[in-house]
Structure 1
Amino acid sequence: MSSLTLIGAHRAVSELLENRPKSWDVVRFKGLFQRLDRRNVDLTYEMLSLRSTGEIVARAEMGGRQEPDEASLPKYLIAEIDDLVVNPMWLIGGGIGVSRRAGAVSPDYRVFRSRGALLPRFVHQLLRSQPYLDQYLLYTRAQTTFDRRVQQPDLDNLPLPVPPLEEQRVIAEYLDRETARIDTLIEEQQRLIEMLSERRVAKVAETLEGHERTQVRRLVDHDRPMTYGILQCGEPIDGGVVYIGPSDIQGEGLSPYRYALRTTAPEIASAYRRSVLKGGDVVVSIGPAYGKVAVVSDDLDGANLTQDTVRLALRPDLVDTRFFVWALLSRQTAEYWDYQIMGATFRRLNLGTLARTPIPLPAIHEQRRIAEYLDEQTAKIDTLIAEAERFIELSRERRSALITEAVTGQIDVRGAA
């Protein structure tokens, strides 16, 4: 295949193919794979589905999937062990992989069988490597989820590097071994994150134990009672009044940024003067996305709320704001809310339940000390979690790079132990 052919439509993989080892061929996809069209007419094959990880699993393991109607079941494609399964609508998300089990897959998929020049494990790693994922993206011409399939002529003309079979075997074994090592390290860090997250929750809960409690409503300024906000905010208005909804509340007490908030018309906001915000107010999400907490920054004076958020104007003589945030985010509060909405058809927190929520109430100076302590202790844990997350990110990048280097011949793995 000439250099000119590789460049252009295949620019995501062209440079890698130009620099391949001299003993490696380059062959188009259609020269290596035969498309199959065997249907599960007698319904004897197990129903399978393709994950974005490239793993092909029993459909029942996917969970939450709408079951196909009986009329479509005989149309399902049969895939045998070592067949290549492709989801053309989700190739850019990793919808491609070699099957390790026999079964029936969606008729929207495509099933291919190697013509004999490729080892299945090598194919799996090659077609899931980053340059090829990038190439699938270049092939997509539509922007919507249901109309971005990679067309078969593009896939047919996709150039693939083809090492000698023995070298394919060595590469596949090398990648099996090395990716397993990386995956083990990633799993260890994921378990560490889980442990640290549990420790964080426990630290907050333990620190807040042993104090008398009072209801949230008793800590609120009587002149500015608890209230939810605007029922129908309407279309955004340039220069309108900004408002806070559940989706705007992200961190533990952090205020949303003004520039990121939506707006409502002044005449709509004026009908909800009761829920106007001031700097220092606490906002809590209720409804189905309940339990998120923000402390309003001073630059949001005059902002408003949606109907699924509640304003709490706390009494500074009774409760420290930061302490109050920790109390609302504690395991004790979460358990109280779970108990209150247990058995409900739709899990929603309402204004009344929030008002009755019990909150620990030591002396105000003790509240400030506890809040400072929890800020300090959770920050230490958060730093460890961030380090573990960074390790996982780097490990995944290394895993991806290693696969690319091996399947394109950038590194010679034949002497690797």
Structure 2
Amino acid sequence: MSGAIIDFFPQTNHLKGNYVRLGLVSRIFSGGTPDKGNLDYWEGGDIPWIGSGEVNQGIVQNPTAHITRQAVERSATKLFPKDSLIMALAGQGKTKGTVARMGIDAYGNQSLGCISDYSGESRFLYWWLTSLYREIRNLSSQETRDGLNQSMLGQIPVPLFDLATQRQIADFLDRETARIDLLIEKKQRLVALLAERQVEALEAAVLGGANVQRGNGGEWLSDLAQGWRFIPLKHFVSSKGGATPSKDRDDFWVGEIPWVSPKDMKVDVIEDVPDHVSEAAVKGSALSLIPEGAVLIVVRGMILARYVPVCRLGCEGTINQDMKALISDNRVASSEYLQLMLQGFSSVLMTFVEEAAHGTKKLRSDQLFNMKFPVPPLDVQAGIIRNYLAMRDHNKSLQEKTNSSIDHLKEYRSALITAAVTGQIDVTTYAKSGTPDRHLDAIQEEMGA
């Protein structure tokens, strides 16, 4: 085997035995994509066809699309048989280099490499290639979308374990990784549940007992708690807009005044941002200085297709034209409460989002300012803020511990796969020794999750 290739795979140093090139013990080929412009290839088709993204299924059961018999006969697509393996030769993010098992017969595209007719146990080969994920990706440039090819796959080393040993290792990893994956899934559900409960708690806190009828400009069906009042936003909030100073004026962009745009709206309180403008920019453009404590809201952009970002300015600054700065009358509502109130009504605000020019989204500011919000007395506002922040900090701590536990489980899973496929552990006795249970218990105790 070529020394240049084998150097990519340090796992071979731990193998209990010899290895061989994958191309010598399997058949490796790619498929193709029927012409998308030819409707005869796609309309009414009943033959499964997959793209590279389907490797993320692990075991491919659901095709990307269906094609016709004519597409099979007149294009370069090829059959990837059930029980063969596929690997993404291209793809963004984590897709490239990911391997999956074919749970169905399906035709595939040119961005997939199919590994068929393996002379050993295909489940073992799946786990072996999974353990080499990073090394396989590094065979090609990280910037190259079509970095991997069939020749590279053919050079990958494969252990020469006997068939019985391969099956024992595959059985062990099928069983043990399923246990780990179940734990990871439970913890991921817990993280999602904590986030959902936090949203629900905030919504309940700022409603004041009112039952909002969404999408009708802010009409409520039930009475408010004692001391609360329905007040149109425009009666206790003023606003300022923003702008983008000329990019041709270098002197406009060498200052120390933060210039906030929607991409910066990922935190609760903005203390600083990457972009800054000068005093000359404020004087020589449509920019306005926004006071510290103002609540910022995005009113234009594709982010509004998902949610309405709201945060608070922790310093004096400026904003661009896709945002509004809301300045609350502190005799009616504190800026901290205004922020929480708008965040709590995020689902209602989404009903004010509509299509703008060039396909982007915009928030109807007129509807927002005419909307009547339930506003409690200032002392009640302070209590809501205090209780919500305490709950948020508690949830954040639980989420961080749980996410850390998930990371540890993933690391243990990866290490277990490598140890098993290289023969560093005896899989016939490892589980019986209780070692996997002790590892999982240790992760649970260490993270307190």
Normalising by structure 1, we get a TM-score of 0.82
1:232 deviates by: 6.6
Q: Alpha-carbon deviations, 1:267-324, whole Å to 9, x = none?
A: 65435455322222221112232421222123xx2x3211111111222222112211
Give me the whole-angstrom Cα distance separating, in 2, the residues matched to 1:20 and 1:39: 36
1:122 deviates by: 0.7
Give me the whole-angstrom Cα distance separating, in 2, the residues matched to 1:192 and 1:338: 26
Give me the whole-angstrom Cα distance separating, in 2, the residues matched to 1:44 and 1:198: 39
Give me the whole-angstrom Cα distance separating, in 1, the residues matched to 2:195 and 2:297: 22
Q: 1:254 aligns with which of 246, 269, 279?
A: 269
Q: Map of 1:261-300 to 2, 5 A cutoff?
A: 261-263=274-276, 269-273=282-286, 275-287=288-300, 288-290=302-304, 291-298=308-315
Given the alignment of the two structures, is residue 136 of structure 1 paired with residue 140 of structure 2, yes or no?
no
1:245 deviates by: 0.9
Q: Alpha-carbon deviations, 1:169-199, whole Å to 9, x = none?
A: 0111111111111111112112222322222
**Equivalent residue for 1:65?**
none
Residue 55 to residue 349, structure 1, CA distance change in 2 (3 Å): farther
Q: 2:166 aligns with which of 165, 168, 172?
A: 168
Residue 235 to residue 255, structure 1, CA distance change in 2 (3 Å): farther
Matched to 1:406, the amino acid is A
**Equivalent residue for 1:104?**
107
Q: Are the aligned partners of 2:354 and 2:362 in contact in 1 as well (CA < 8 Å)?
A: no
Given the alignment of the two structures, is residue 379 of structure 1 paired with residue 393 of structure 2, yes or no?
yes
Residue 320 to residue 181, structure 1, CA distance change in 2 (3 Å): same
Residue 381 to residue 45, structure 1, CA distance change in 2 (3 Å): same
Give me the whole-angstrom Cα distance separating, in 1, the residues matched to 2:112 and 2:143: 19
**Equivalent residue for 1:30?**
23
Q: 1:230 aligns with which of 240, 243, 247?
A: 243
1:388 deviates by: 2.1
1:110 deviates by: 2.4
Give me the whole-angstrom Cα distance separating, in 1, the residues matched to 2:291 and 2:103: 60
Q: Are the aligned partners of 2:88 and 2:96 in contact in 1 as well (CA < 8 Å)?
A: no
Q: Alpha-carbon deviations, 1:66-89, whole Å to 9, x = none?
A: xxx969973212111122222211
Q: Are the aligned partners of 2:353 and 2:364 in contact in 1 as well (CA < 8 Å)?
A: no
Number of equivalenced pairs: 388
**Secondary structure of the corresponding residue to residue 165 of structure 2:** helix
Q: Map of 1:77-92 to 2, 5 A cutoff?
A: 77-90=78-91
Residue 263 to residue 257, structure 1, CA distance change in 2 (3 Å): closer
Consecutive unaligned residues in structure 2, runs of 5 or more = 35-40, 209-224, 433-449
Matched to 1:137, the amino acid is R
1:106 deviates by: 0.7
Q: Are the aligned partners of 1:39 and 1:78 in contact in 2 as well (CA < 8 Å)?
A: no
Normalising by structure 2, we get a TM-score of 0.77
Q: Are the aligned partners of 1:213 and 1:361 in contact in 2 as well (CA < 8 Å)?
A: yes
Residue 284 to residue 61, structure 1, CA distance change in 2 (3 Å): farther
Give me the whole-angstrom Cα distance separating, in 2, the residues matched to 1:195 and 1:307: 35
**Secondary structure of the corresponding residue to residue 9 of structure 2:** helix
**Equivalent residue for 1:329?**
343
Q: Are the aligned partners of 2:87 and 2:97 in contact in 1 as well (CA < 8 Å)?
A: no
Which one is further off, 43-52 or 204-213?
Answer: 43-52
Q: Are the aligned partners of 1:248 and 1:256 in contact in 2 as well (CA < 8 Å)?
A: no
Q: Are the aligned partners of 1:281 and 1:296 in contact in 2 as well (CA < 8 Å)?
A: yes
Q: 2:416 aligns with which of 402, 407, 411?
A: 402
Q: Map of 1:111-260 to 2, 5 A cutoff?
A: 111-116=114-119, 118-129=120-131, 132-141=132-141, 143-144=143-144, 146=145, 148-208=146-206, 209=208, 210=225, 211-220=228-237, 225-230=238-243, 234=247, 237=250, 239-240=254-255, 242-251=258-267, 253-258=268-273
**Equivalent residue for 1:46?**
48
**Equivalent residue for 1:66?**
none
Give me the whole-angstrom Cα distance separating, in 2, the residues matched to 1:246 and 1:38: 42
Q: Alpha-carbon deviations, 1:304-360, whole Å to 9, x = none?
A: 211111111222222112211111111xx1232233347998653132233234333
Residue 142 to residue 337, structure 1, CA distance change in 2 (3 Å): closer
Give me the whole-angstrom Cα distance separating, in 2, the residues matched to 1:184 and 1:236: 57
Q: Are the aligned partners of 1:229 and 1:272 in contact in 2 as well (CA < 8 Å)?
A: no
**Secondary structure of the corresponding residue to residue 423 of structure 2:** coil
Q: Are the aligned partners of 1:11 and 1:135 in contact in 2 as well (CA < 8 Å)?
A: no
Give me the whole-angstrom Cα distance separating, in 2, the residues matched to 1:348 and 1:161: 58
Residue 371 to residue 139, structure 1, CA distance change in 2 (3 Å): same
